Amino acid sequence: MTPHLTEAGREPWRYLDPMTMTPRTALVTGGTRGLGLALVLRLARAGTVVYTVARRRRGIDALRSLARQEGLPIIALQGDLTTLGTPRRIARRLAKDGVVLDLLVHNAGLLGPRVPLADWSRRDFDAVIAANLSAPFDLTRRLLPRFGPDSRVVFVSSGVTRGIRTRWGAYQISKVALETLAGIYAAEGGDDGPIIAIFDPGVMRTAMRAEAYPDEDPATLPEPDMVAEELLELTKALTASESGRRLTRRLGR
């Protein structure tokens, strides 16, 4: 059964780019908490029309409430990107709205258990691969017709791709494969495709980080908004000849 994809708030107006008089539009996956939420709010507060999709209704409702309070151009959609139906529905929705995407950020992800690979269940393994690899693959290919000139696609990766690590299992496998996926999209897209970036956000104060390192003091880690700011700055600076480049956060720890 195809999961229901619902709209959780939409403003009837659009901010315009003062230079081109056209809407700046972005799509951020997993935009109701952590880095995704920081990106959604930073973009929307700067005047970008932001679509986001997330699985949990509570997060969608909280984002809708905040968007209404501040009058932000945020379109929040509820859906599970690991299914076949949700990426297709998102693509159809953007086409119906006549959206020309300036930015797509693949932020949504799943950690999985921190145990040796042999102790992973097939169910957990498949779930992490579906969230971290299959969903970005499917959504990107479906949205290729929606990208405008000088558009960007950002694949959020991780430092775990730098060499073999134990007890990271399918999460590490998925992020290594994700960087290869991004590189292939960059190589095959050429001059006509969006500029591709791979972004390693480093450590930050998120629920996933707390899940991975429960004994760590979150107060010692940078806020997601600091990381979001740098992601946007580094991505914006990329040229077409640099498509597929891996970007690493410069700030602090």
Q: Does some domain include residue 25?
A: yes
- The CATH code of the domain that includes 182 is 3.40.50.720
Task: Indicate whether 1 belongs to any domain.
Answer: no
Q: How many domains in the chain? A: 1
**Residues with Cβ < 8 Å from 101, sequence gap 6 or more?**
25, 26, 27, 94, 143, 146, 147, 148, 151
Task: Please tell me the least confidently modeled range out of 20-29, 51-60, 76-85.
Answer: 20-29
Is 115 within a domain? yes
* Residue 62 included in any domain: yes
Question: Whose structure tokens read 């004994």?
Answer: 215
Domain with 33 in it: 6-248
Instruction: Tell me what the mean pLDDT of segment 88-116 comes to.
Output: 96
Domain assignment present for 210 = yes
205 domain residue, yes or no:
yes
Q: Which pLDDT score, from 0 to 100, does residue 214 have?
A: 72
140 domain-assigned: yes
Q: What is the pLDDT of residue 251?
A: 59
253 inside domain:
no
* Greater pLDDT, 2 or 31: 31
Examine the pLDDT at 125 and tell me if it is beyond 90.
yes
Predicted confidence at residue 144, as pLDDT, reads 97
Q: Is 241 exposed, middle or buried (0-12, 13-18, 19+ CB in 10 A)?
A: exposed
